[in-house]
Structure 1
Amino acid sequence: MKYIIADDEPLARARIMRLLKAWPHYECVAEVSSGDDVESAIIENPVQLLFLDINMPGLDGIKTAEMLNQKYRDLKIIFITAHSEFALEAFNVFAAGFLVKPVSQSDLFSLLERLFKPRIQYQVGAQIRWVDVDEVIVAKAEDKLTQIYFQGGEATIDLSLKKVAQPLP
């Protein structure tokens, strides 16, 4: 999952990236320090997720989110701020989440798991299907294949168990 961080504090940006290193399938594709630079970063690097500070020089986070919501309907915006009093205003511009600085790893992971449930892809004939990780009862390695048993069925995946589990938290 590709994401952008918009925060005028370099240490705050570095903290988010450091916390997300525990989830290797998250990749920071751009960092910006002003709301004025967010849209050009999104155009250059289409993403599903934006971490957005509220109080920044130039265009603030709330105005940036209002503008982005008009153009990028699938973009999930998570506000990161030291000012918890902005929470209501953030949700009024359809924020997917709100984290107070300093962001804790547990709060960040809980929010991301809620927004982007980890899933495993498998194939039945020519049809691709997905199962939520929390529905998996057992995953068993069989040579270079993985057999998963989940609520409502089972599937064989043409990957090793190590490769299936690698991108999961």
Structure 2
Amino acid sequence: MTKCVVAEDEALLRESLLGMLAEAWPELEVVAACEDGGSALEAIAAHQPEVAFLDIRMPGLTGLEVATALAEASPHTRVVFVTAYDQYAVDAFERGAVDYLLKPVARERLLATVARLKQRAPAGADPAQLAALLEQLGRALPAASRQPPLVWLTASSGAETRLIMVDDVAYFQSDSKYTVVMTQQGESLLRKPIRELLDVLDPNIFKQIHRSTIVNLKAIASVARDESGRGIVKLRTRPETLSVSQPFMTLFKNM
């Protein structure tokens, strides 16, 4: 049975695509349905599916960043991008022979895509061409409209409430329904799940390196890889080290 991961941050669109896939490809096994790029990357690395449907614009890692990381994390996974209409992206996908679906997803287009994916030797861009295309798209596509990134936050430390500048945060770490905020001065507790931070942090400065960890790139002193392939981050202002899930190590290659 063909395994598949679906990644779409909008719940209604995700459920709609899952329903259409169940009808168009009954034997397809959806092993994970994800709402952000980091979860998608970890799910694909864990399950090694034959197919992944990736929304281009997601919290945390974009679909393009996930696809780039898959060259190492799951090189045999065939990616289908799901995107709102953008003429530049459509033209680039067509030139690169990359599968894509436009929102709202049309049944006829999905059926044609499924037929191509079922081929034993599907045509498509080779890894080098795909990497070049993804880099080109990442530079050229306009940034998604979003609120200005978070500048400061309030978090609790015992009976005290702290006002913390986001630039002073070394990293955020998930703690059940809450998030631990680590600065040079110590830790505080933010009453918000870590996933919600992905929508409001500056994606050029804060990167998810693990399902439960978001790090400030400015706070990193060095990144190394251990024998198992897992990354180890040393910080400038904190004595502890942070683990980088193996799929996320690709994100540091060009830094």
TM-score (norm 2): 0.42
CA contact (8 A) 1:62 1:89 kept: no
Structure 1 position 88, deviation (Å):
4.8
1:32 is matched with 34
TM-superposed deviation, 1:83: 3.4
Letter in 2 for 1:64: V
AA of the residue aligned to 1:102: P
Question: Residue 158 of structure 1 aligns with which residue?
Answer: none
Taking structure 1 as reference, are residues 67 and 36 closer, same or farther at Cα in structure 2, changes over 3 Å only? same
Structure 1 residues 110 and 47: CA distance shift in structure 2, 3 A? same
Give the distance between the partners of 2:56 and 2:77, measured in 1 at CA. Answer: 17
User: Residue 8 of structure 1 aligns to which amino acid in structure 2?
Assistant: D
Q: CA deviation at 1:79?
A: 0.4
Match of 1:105 in 2: 107
Q: Secondary structure at the match of 1:29?
A: strand
Provide the rounded CA distance (Å) in 2 between the counterparts of 1:107 and 1:26: 17
**Paired residues of 1:79 and 1:95 also in contact (CA < 8 A):** no
Q: After TM superposition, give the deviation of residue 90 of structure 1 in Å.
A: 5.3
- Taking the TM superposition and a 5 Å limit, the aligned residue runs for 1:1-169 are 1-22=2-23, 23-85=25-87, 86-88=89-91, 96-117=98-119
Mean Cα displacement is larger for which, 103-112 or 41-50?
A: 41-50
Is the 1:81–1:101 Cα contact (8 Å) retained in structure 2?
yes
Which consecutive unaligned segments of at least 5 residues does structure 1 have? 119-169
- Is the alpha carbon distance of 1:36 and 1:67 closer, same or farther for their aligned partners in structure 2, counting shifts above 3 Å? same
RMSD: 2.2
Identity %: 32
Contact 1:96–1:115 (8 Å) recurs in 2? no
Cα–Cα, structure 1 residues 82 and 35, in superposed 2: closer, same or farther, change >3 Å?
Answer: same
Aligned partner of residue 81 in structure 2, secondary structure: strand
Equivalences, count: 117
Q: Deviations over 1:61-103 (max 9, x none)?
A: 11111111233221000001113342355578x7741110111
Q: Which amino acid aligns with 1:62?
A: L
Structure 2: tracts of 5 or more residues without a match: 121-255
- 1:86-127: CA deviation from partner (whole Å, max 9, x where unpaired): 2355578x7741110111111011111022138xxxxxxxxx
Residues 90 and 117 (structure 1), Cα distance of their counterparts in 2 relative to 1, 3 Å cut: closer
Determine if contact 1:6/1:52 at 8 Å carries over to the other structure.
yes
| 1:17 partner amino acid | L
TM (norm. structure 1) is: 0.61
One-letter amino acid matched to 1:87: V
Asked whether the 8 Å contact 2:48–2:77 carries over to 1, the reply is no
Q: Determine which structure has greater relative contact order: mean sequence separation of CA pairs < 8 Å that are 6+ residues apart, divided by chain length.
A: 1
Provide runs of 4+ in structure 1 moved above 4 Å: 88-92
Aligned equivalents of 2:64, 2:94: Cα separation in 1: 10
